[in-house]
Amino acid sequence: MFRELIRKNKELSREECIRLLETEKRGVLSVNGDDNYPYGMPMNHWYNAEDGKIYFHCGNEGHRLDALKKSSKVSFCAYDEGYRNPGQWPLHVKSVIVFGTIEILDDPDSIVDITTKLSHKFTQDEAYIKAEIEQHAHRTLLLALTPEHICGKLVKES
């Protein structure tokens, strides 16, 4: 059902893909938007190694949520900052693309738990995290992406 990479020598292992999902802070979540136009938006995410799902937080209204209520199928792309070999200009970038379905969660305990874990990717300031959650959790939803296919590759700009 999902296409395989053509250039197998550029393919990342499953472990490298998971590491990117665990370490990178942002990616682009794409949904089936209005009039069948793809709608992609940058999103913070948290990969849960225990259940293999990727979690996002969002408000309780808007284009993204409307699209997800119509179709739960999505893709998510995360990529690293890349590196350059000494004395060369091309950037080498690792990226991972996840295809799957999203479930919308509104359980208050899960929202607090997951958004706390997501926040720790950005800061260890517990007082700040607690204040943000207390202020915004009541109007926050979670999106749980269950992967159906994960692939990654290393590309070199040219």
Burial of 119 from C-beta contacts in 10 A (0-12 / 13-18 / 19+): buried
Prediction pTM value: 0.92
Token pair 């607090």: residue: 112
Among residues 79, 78, 58, 59, the alpha carbon closest in space to that of 147 is found at 78
Count of Cβ atoms closer than 10 Å to residue 90 Cβ: 12
Residues 6+ apart with CB under 8 A from 133: 112, 115, 116, 119
Q: What is the pLDDT along the chain (158 residues), one digit of tens a residue?
A: 888 888 888 999 999 999 999 999 999 999 999 999 999 999 999 999 999 999 999 988 899 999 999 999 999 999 999 999 999 999 999 999 999 999 999 999 999 999 999 999 999 999 999 999 999 988 899 999 999 999 999 998 87
